[in-house]
Amino acid sequence: MIITANQKPQTENPAPGRPREHCGIFGIYGHPEAARLTYFGLYALQHRGQESCGIVTGDGCRVRQHRGMGLVPEVFSQPLLEQLPGHLAIGHVRYSTTGSTMLINAQPFVVQHRGHMLAIGHNGTLTNAREIRSRLEEAGSIFQSTMDTEIIVHLMARHQGDLLESLIAALKEVRGSYSLVLLTADQVIAARDPRGFRPLSLGQVNGSWVVASETCALDLVQADFWRDVEPGEIIVLDAHGLHSHKPFEPVAPNFCIFEYIYFARPDSHLFGQSVYLVRKRLGAALAREHPLKADLVMPFPDSGTYAALGYAAASGLPFEMAVIRNHYVGRTFIQPSQVMRDFSVKVKLNPVREILKGKRVVVVEDSIIRGTTTRSRIKALRDAGAKEVSLLVSCPPHRFPCFYGIDFSSKGELIASQQEVNQIRDFLGLDYLGYLSTEAMVEATHLDNQDFCLACFSGNYPVPLESDFSKLCFEEDICAPGQPEGIPATCERK
Ligand code: SF4
């Protein structure tokens, strides 16, 4: 195996105050430029994770990998891709929902498995990870990382049988959400948990099989969408073609409805529906539930744009881009030496006074998590002369944490778990605040209520949780980046 890696300083959240994406995965079998196509696939999936990324390739004999901290074009270069030959590859972009931000937690994660190299990339969160890890550590297992994903390979190592049998045995022990890609020197395997929380699509390009978290990645590598990997399905891609296995008891699906509302790219198809069209229908449903007298409808770029288009079309109100985004702002910038009012809001988003002055404005947003960023943005609209500001949200209030792969894992992070709607309205400085009902949200997807996970709205968790589950639950003995060895990273522990 050949390993290369680069360690960059941790970068700040590019969208502070917004829920952060979890991870994106990509896999390809049977293409002479597997690493290059994986690079493009990860490029298309960058919105799902910006902390780290990696590509692992196989050529039938050897496994090679490169992982690094940062965005895909920061980590990979043309010469680096040339050092990753092979006709099969998997890749991963990561934002950590378990385990902290450091290179040892970058994926795909690569281990020796019965004398062969095995790589794994994971999108999701295992909800019984702590209990399994404690049990494995008591039995002598030594873990390299703080990720829940590593548990899967330790469980595989404890089972006899071939790779597929070991994987099935391991997946029967874990609970929670997972879409996976695995790679050996001559095989790619894709798997999706029985409830199908996270998306995973299958396509083909020039006879090569491709799997990706979202269809926008298939589009970029010019692969034709074939079908979704089904909940509970394991797909093996090798020299004999594609083999589908369904080893789990069928259960009702629980697709993450928040993928439609916020996470997925609008040009993707998820769970059989166009994300773009679902978002427009969410906006139209808002117009039916909250018909407001106003002069214009607007989004804050780039949240709520498609729902705002839907609201404008259904209500007949004009749609305006009354706030302009600076597309060239990096993830960090030098702060001004003197106090400049609302600097960090305005450096990214600047209101257009001529559009807003004296107007009654309806802003459409996809979610309110903490509320602090929204409050600053509303104030900026008022400062620009808006006469009335109403805010409509294209989902119900987020009152409960997510434990299935999204980054709001405690109630304290959610304003709606602490305050009633009228209190949130006053905190945000609004004239009116309205949320979409659960019924209208589900109806806009054109799927059934029973198909979804709605836990962050309802508190009904479809998969049981460990009582003390937390993102950084394995962190006791791990050093944070920049800390001397041996000093526990207690400052990172929740
Ligand atoms: S709790 Fe919410 S964000 Fe998490 S999987 Fe369920 S619907 Fe998605």
In whole angstroms, give the CA distance from residue 170 to residue 166.
Answer: 6
Residue 477 confidence (pLDDT) above 50:
no
402 C-alpha to ligand 1 centroid (Å): 5
In whole angstroms, give the CA distance from residue 173 to residue 148.
Answer: 13
**303 falls in which pLDDT band (50, 70, 90)?**
confident
Please say which residue of 215, 233, 251 terminates a domain.
251
Query: Does residue 98 sit within a domain?
Result: yes
Which contacts of 245-250 are long-range, i.e. CB under 8 A and separated by 24 or more positions?
245/164, 245/168, 247/168, 247/172, 248/171, 248/172, 248/194, 249/194, 250/194
What pLDDT, in 10s, does the model give residues 134-143?
999 999 888 9
Pocket perturbation via mutation, ligand 1, pick of 402, 461, 469 by most ligand atoms within 8 A of CB: 402
**2 falls in which pLDDT band (50, 70, 90)?**
low
162 C-alpha to ligand 1 centroid (Å): 34
Non-local (6+) Cβ contacts of 248 within 8 A are 171, 172, 194, 232
Residue 87: what are its φ and ψ, rounded to 5°? -100, 5
What pLDDT, in 10s, does the model give residues 270-297?
999 999 999 999 999 999 999 999 999 9
What pLDDT, in 10s, does the model give residues 169-201?
999 999 999 999 999 999 999 999 999 999 999
Query: Does residue 339 sit within a domain?
Result: no
**473 falls in which pLDDT band (50, 70, 90)?**
very low
Q: Domain containing 379: what range?
A: 278-324+344-448
Query: Does residue 462 sit within a domain?
Result: no
CATH of the domain at 231: 3.60.20.10
Q: Could you tell me if 232 and 140 lie in one domain?
A: yes
Q: Could you tell me if 215 and 349 lie in one domain?
A: no
The chain-wide mean pLDDT, for the chain, equals 88
Q: Could you tell me if 122 and 65 lie in one domain?
A: yes
**468 falls in which pLDDT band (50, 70, 90)?**
low
Q: Could you tell me if 304 and 422 lie in one domain?
A: yes
Pocket perturbation via mutation, ligand 1, pick of 20, 127, 178, 258 by most ligand atoms within 8 A of CB: 258
Query: Does residue 261 sit within a domain?
Result: no
Q: Could you tell me if 173 and 24 lie in one domain?
A: yes
Instruction: Look at residue 19 in the predicted model and tell me its pLDDT.
Output: 55
Q: What is the DSSP letter of 451?
A: G
Query: Does residue 263 sit within a domain?
Result: no
Top-confidence residue, 90 or 116: 90
In whole angstroms, give the CA distance from residue 36 to residue 210.
Answer: 13
Q: Could you tell me if 242 and 116 lie in one domain?
A: yes
Query: Does residue 270 sit within a domain?
Result: no
Query: Does residue 478 sit within a domain?
Result: no
Q: Could you tell me if 59 and 136 lie in one domain?
A: yes
List the residue whose alpha carbon is closest to atom 2 of ligand 1.
Answer: 456
Q: Could you tell me if 285 and 371 lie in one domain?
A: yes
Residue 491 confidence (pLDDT) above 60:
no
Q: Which atom of ligand 1 is nearest to the CA of 461?
A: 1
Q: Could you tell me if 63 and 179 lie in one domain?
A: yes
The interaxial angle of helices 275-289 and 305-315, nearest 10 deg, is 50
Q: Which atom of ligand 1 is nearest to the CA of 257?
A: 7
Active-site annotation, residues: 23
Task: Please check whether residue 43 is in contact with residue 73, taking contact to mean a CB–CB distance below 8 angstroms.
Answer: yes
Residue 445 confidence (pLDDT) above 50:
yes
Please say which residue of 251, 286, 311 terminates a domain.
251
Residue 460 confidence (pLDDT) above 70:
yes
Residue 8 confidence (pLDDT) above 90:
no
When divided into structural domains, the chain yields a total of: 2
Q: Which atom of ligand 1 is nearest to the CA of 462?
A: 6
Mean pLDDT of 232-256: 97
Judge if the beta carbon of residue 95 lies within 6 A of ligand 1. no
Judge if the beta carbon of residue 218 lies within 6 A of ligand 1. no
Q: What is the value of pTM for the model shown?
A: 0.89
Please say which residue of 233, 251, 269 terminates a domain.
251
80 C-alpha to ligand 1 centroid (Å): 36
Non-local (6+) Cβ contacts of 238 within 8 A are 29, 186, 187, 188
Instruction: Look at residue 332 in the predicted model and tell me its pLDDT.
Output: 61
Task: Please check whether residue 121 is in contact with residue 90, taking contact to mean a CB–CB distance below 8 angstroms.
Answer: yes
CATH of the domain at 415: 3.40.50.2020
Instruction: Look at residue 488 in the predicted model and tell me its pLDDT.
Output: 28
Mean pLDDT of 124-136: 93
In whole angstroms, give the CA distance from residue 271 to residue 274.
Answer: 9
257 C-alpha to ligand 1 centroid (Å): 7
Query: Does residue 474 sit within a domain?
Result: no
In whole angstroms, give the CA distance from residue 318 to residue 471.
Answer: 43
Strand, helix or coil for residue 376:
helix
Q: Could you tell me if 113 and 33 lie in one domain?
A: yes
Q: Could you tell me if 306 and 410 lie in one domain?
A: yes
Judge if the beta carbon of residue 442 lies within 6 A of ligand 1. no
Mean pLDDT of 312-333: 87
Pocket perturbation via mutation, ligand 1, pick of 192, 278, 403, 406 by most ligand atoms within 8 A of CB: 406
Judge if the beta carbon of residue 270 lies within 6 A of ligand 1. no
Task: Kindly state the percentage of the chain with pLDDT values over 70.
Answer: 86
Task: Kindly state the percentage of the chain with pLDDT values over 90.
Answer: 74
Q: Could you tell me if 409 and 355 lie in one domain?
A: yes
In whole angstroms, give the CA distance from residue 84 to residue 66.
Answer: 8
**122 falls in which pLDDT band (50, 70, 90)?**
very high
Instruction: Look at residue 96 in the predicted model and tell me its pLDDT.
Output: 63
